[in-house]
Structure 1
Amino acid sequence: MIPFNKPYLTGKEIVYIEDAVKKGKISGNGYYTQRCHDFFEKKYGFNKCLLTTSCTDALEMAAILINIKEGDEVIMPSFTFVSTANAFVLRGAKIVFADSRSDHPGMDEEKLEALITAKTKAIVPVHYAGVACDMDKIMSLAHQYNLFVIEDAAQAIDSFYTGKDGIRKPLGSIGHLAAFSFHETKNIISGEGGMLVINDKSFAQRAEIIWEKGTNRSAFFRGEVDKYSWVDIGSSFLPSEIVAAFLWAQLENIEDIQKVRISHWEKYYNELQDWALKNEITLPVVPSYATNNGHMFYLVCKSIEQRQAIIDKLKSKDILAVFHYISLHSSVFNKTNNIIPELNQSDKYSDCLLRLPFFYELNIREIIEAL
């Protein structure tokens, strides 16, 4: 049986977890948490990083930081995971769904301005499959209309965007805030786990307080205050040192992991060209301003029936291929609470996008021959 995903272990995870336990502090924000924070801040130039128990938590922290309240509107793609929307709905926001691009499941940047109203507070671009949205266009709109930009970079670790200025920027470093995931299906994993990136320095101090249950506990342990107390709203967003130790083992090997995953992606892409053309199937598109980080490999079938036929064919050979999101605008929750917009491209990806097995130890040849 070839699964859709298989978590990759570097061999050091248990070693570092044991070390974390021996250090005598496993509740969080200790040695391994700081190593992970330092890694991301130095390697990618992020202003400040805070590990979280999930990408969902990072998004919820972002919603608190930008003071989302009842009646605010937040623009995001419909073709995304529910956490992208839930984080803002929980604070009272109305979600305004954007359609996907015709050539890529990411949000159609050309249609965003028409969705902006006097109530719009933020835009949440989702870098689907680790491929960048056109951040120049999004940041320009944000500046023009005084909006916040929160990058949902759950799938976008070690992926980049090159703007009109020619500067290559890591995804997650461009918006005011960004959220990453280390779920077991991602490139770099810790089982569950995530991270909030704070690029706008004005959010840094409050982010740490929200992260520490609404207290200034971190400042107290640094000796900046003589006692800590409840100073803001917050929650238990930080993960344990056990999670951070697992993550550190992965980060030590990020170059190797990325090299292998990108090689898998390129092999799929190169060897499926003729098959895809023959069957009227579209392979992934990576715009010229974006990079491919080897997060997933997907096909866009010509119909839902064709997709199901491919799923069934692979299943008969003990290979698990899966579709992805049911667009949020067509969800039961949204139908109950809002008017349903017409988002044809998003519907197309819901019906026709198919993800092939993708993980470090995968033998791509078996999948290609099965197709």
Structure 2
Amino acid sequence: MLEEKKIPFNWPYMTGKELYYIAEAHFNGRLAGDGPFTKRCHRWLEERTGCNKGLLTHSCTAALEMAALLLDIQPGDEIIMPSYTFVSTANAFVLRGGVPVFVDIREDSLNLDERLIESAITPRTRAIAPVHYAGVACEMDTIMIMAREHGLKVVEDAAQGVMSTYKGRPLGSIGDLGVYSFHETKNLISGEGGALLVNSPDMSLRAEIIREKGTDRSRFFRGEVDKYTWQEVGSSFLPGELIAAFLWAQLEEADRITKERLASWQRYHEFLEPLEAKGILRRPIVPGDCQHNAHMYYVLLAPEINRQEVLDSFKRNEIWSVFHYVPLHSSPAGKRYGRSHGDLDVTTRLSERLVRLPMWVGLTNEQQERVVEVLSEAVS
């Protein structure tokens, strides 16, 4: 139960059916992966995104690791990605010996700057991994054309992008592969959890095999083979059926959850317009071709404002606000395993000015007014 005065950064939302479905899974005696609830989630993913195969995983990190296996990443292979992303985007490929090549982001959306990708391509480049920051789409048409011209694969990191679209197409369904996160901090949740969207039909069977410890177990249960055995390198990427049951309750309410988050996002946007007009901060910019999902609301403080003082002011008022990623190119592991293409000036500048505001289903108008009031006092 929330204390009345405190405003958390995130608060997990439950639709009311989660525990009922978990009890149903227990009653059915199916607790391991790929039970009835998992299959419902798979159908939802495939119907809502149009992907060739949707597969639940125990995390978005696991889905990215599956992508690296599917692309047969070898030591020295290069993968172009933004530095302003979570470590999993890079880790998944580094685990296979791949080399992340960090490219700068755009000033407007904070997404991978598609204009800088081509100059980062070398004979070792195997893939591009655009990250849809805050659920706002990268410029996917340009990225896909460039990838096809150079014979590269595209792995969409849509961890934050469930229910977002680019020119009407669901994020995660545009590249060769896409990944989602259902972590507690995301829009649709299962505590931990993720999904791999396989958009290239020629990868679907291998994806099932890799996900099932490298075996053709799924084919066996469909009656396509008379026994299953080890086919290639894989691992155990399945979530348990209780996770899928919880997630199904969320997917059933995906439209309503998204609508409520968008309403909260829009309130912040309107409340903060006067501060942007004064040049104190910049509100998020959403390109016209993108329909976002209100995953987060952030502001970029004016360069002269001390971000830590703003965060300290929130803390004193029992409002939990945070900054976001430390750019990977500046991290010890990023320097050890990856390389930077260019100076990444935009990434560095904007990462030092960004503040994320509380955002969750159930956030009230009064709470948002208080967040904005404290922010206004702190920056003035």
TM-score normalised by length of structure 1: 0.96
Deviation at 1:38, TM superposition (A): 0.5
Equivalent-residue separation in structure 2 for 1:359 and 1:295 (angstroms): 9
Q: How does 1:217-296 map to 2 (within 5 A)?
A: 217-296=217-296
Aligned 8 A contact 1:148 1:176 in 2? yes
Equivalent-residue separation in structure 2 for 1:334 and 1:210 (angstroms): 27
Aligned 8 A contact 1:188 1:250 in 2? yes
1:133 is aligned to 2:134: no
Aligned 8 A contact 1:33 1:51 in 2? yes
Deviation at 1:366, TM superposition (A): 2.5
Question: 1:369 — aligned with what?
Answer: 373
Question: 2:113 — aligned with what?
Answer: 108
Equivalent-residue separation in structure 2 for 1:244 and 1:183 (angstroms): 13
Deviation at 1:289, TM superposition (A): 1.2
Equivalent-residue separation in structure 2 for 1:312 and 1:208 (angstroms): 47
1:151 is aligned to 2:159: no
3-state DSSP of counterpart to 1:195: strand
Relative to 1, partners in 2 of residues 1:337 and 1:222: Cα closer, same or farther, differing over 3 Å?
Answer: closer
1:124 corresponds to which letter in structure 2?
A: A
Instruction: Write out per-residue CA displacement over residues 342-364 of structure 1, whole angstroms, 9 at most, x where no aligned residue.
Output: 21111012211110000001122
1:273 corresponds to which letter in structure 2?
A: E
Aligned 8 A contact 2:102 2:339 in 1? no
Question: 1:49 — aligned with what?
Answer: 54
Question: 1:318 — aligned with what?
Answer: 318
Question: 2:3 — aligned with what?
Answer: none
More off after superposition, 236-245 vs 327-336? 327-336
1:347 is aligned to 2:348: yes
1:31 is aligned to 2:36: yes
Q: How does 1:151-230 map to 2 (within 5 A)?
A: 151-162=156-167, 168-230=168-230
Q: How does 1:89-100 map to 2 (within 5 A)?
A: 89-100=94-105
Instruction: Write out per-residue CA displacement over residues 178-225 of structure 1, whole angstroms, 9 at most, x where no aligned residue.
Output: 000000000000000000000000000000000100001111111111
- The alignment covers a number of residue pairs equal to 366
Deviation at 1:336, TM superposition (A): 3.6
Structure 2 residues without counterparts, runs of 5 or longer: 1-5, 376-380
CA-atom RMSD in angstroms: 1.2
Equivalent-residue separation in structure 2 for 1:59 and 1:350 (angstroms): 24
Question: 2:18 — aligned with what?
Answer: 13
Instruction: Write out per-residue CA displacement over residues 3-30 of structure 1, whole angstroms, 9 at most, x where no aligned residue.
Output: 1000001111110001001111110101
1:64 is aligned to 2:65: no
1:40 is aligned to 2:45: yes
Aligned 8 A contact 2:161 2:180 in 1? yes
Equivalent-residue separation in structure 2 for 1:304 and 1:331 (angstroms): 25
Aligned 8 A contact 1:304 1:352 in 2? no
Relative to 1, partners in 2 of residues 1:337 and 1:248: Cα closer, same or farther, differing over 3 Å?
Answer: closer
Aligned 8 A contact 2:182 2:193 in 1? yes
Structure 1 residues without counterparts, runs of 5 or longer: 163-167
